Amino acid sequence: MASSENCALSLTCEHRPGVLRDIAGVMADHQVNILMVQQSLIPSGPQKGNASLYFELEDGDDWGKLTADLLNLPSVLDVISYAPFSRIFGSRVIIIGGGAQVAQVALGAVNEADRHNIRGERISVDTIPLVGEEDLTQAVDAVVRLPRASILVLAGSLMGGSISEAVDRVRVAGIPVIALKMAGSVPDHADLVVTDPIQAGVFAVMHASKLARFDISRVRGQEF
């Protein structure tokens, strides 16, 4: 992999204290910057009981040497390199709300994303149908913790209360929010309100696109 590109590494290692510290130390010695890290316990198979660590890295000058040095750690059993998620799945459009409305927003988003991805972009669409103020609030708040989330669409008939407060927090984190026209206070807190759910999905993907000329900041506060 060229040194000018970001690198993704998947490590199989022992599941015990100090392993992550040792791995991070090797990466620091190579002066690479960690963009993302995920850890999980391997539940079955020959490596059952060991840990799986996934890193996305930047600024490396020799990924092959970094891999070799990681494999020299006694706790590291295997290292595999991949293309990073940003090159595979790209920017993420997140759609949360009622099942029927989510499906219609996704219809517009998936069709629009297909047009852009055919031209070489990478835009993915993530959906979760949910009901209930508490569950929706938790889901909205979690958007800021999702890697590569570029925009949130709230699709439903009635949203307000603590959901609106969560929308404000998402926007403060730099992720714009589109809301369907609905009852409740959420539309008053969103960047953009759209009546047609299919069009809402199209707008969301156009914002996520690097090639489209749509800029949500130029229509912020408007209703379509």
* 89-218 matches 7-86 in CATH topology: no
**Is residue 112 predicted with pLDDT exceeding 60?**
yes
What are 128's strand-pairing partners?
96
Q: Residues 45-80, buried b or exposed e (16+ Cβ, 10 A)?
A: eeeeebbbbbbbbeebeebeebbebbeebebbeebe
Average pLDDT over residues 63-90: 92
Length of the chain, in residues: 224
Identify the pLDDT of residue 215.
77
**Mean pLDDT within 189-218:** 90
Quick: pLDDT tens for 6-61: 889 999 999 999 999 999 999 999 999 999 999 999 999 889 999 999 999 998 88
Is there a contact between 94 and 35 (Cβ–Cβ < 8 Å)? Answer: no
Is 72's pLDDT higher than 70?
A: yes
- Which of 79, 118, 89, 72 is CA-nearest to residue 1? 79
Amino acid sitting at position 109 = A
DSSP 166-213: HHHHHHHTT--EEEES-BSSHHHHSSEEESSHHHHHHHHHHHH-SS--
d(CA 208, CA 123): 7
Query: How much is the mean pLDDT over the chain?
Result: 92
pLDDT of residue 210: 86
- pLDDT computed for residue 4 by the predictor: 53
Q: Classify domain 7-86 at the CATH superfamily level.
A: ACT domain (3.30.70.260)
Predicted local distance difference test score (pLDDT) of residue 9: 95
For 147, the token pair is 């890697």
The model's pTM is 0.82
Question: Closest Cα to residue 98, out of 183, 34, 167?
Answer: 183
Which of 74, 120, 87 shows the shortest CA–CA distance to 7?
A: 87
User: Considering the domain 89-218, what is its CATH architecture?
Assistant: 3-Layer(aba) Sandwich (3.40)
- Give residue limits of the domains in the chain: 7-86, 89-218
Whether residue 150 is predicted with pLDDT greater than 50 in this model: the reply is yes
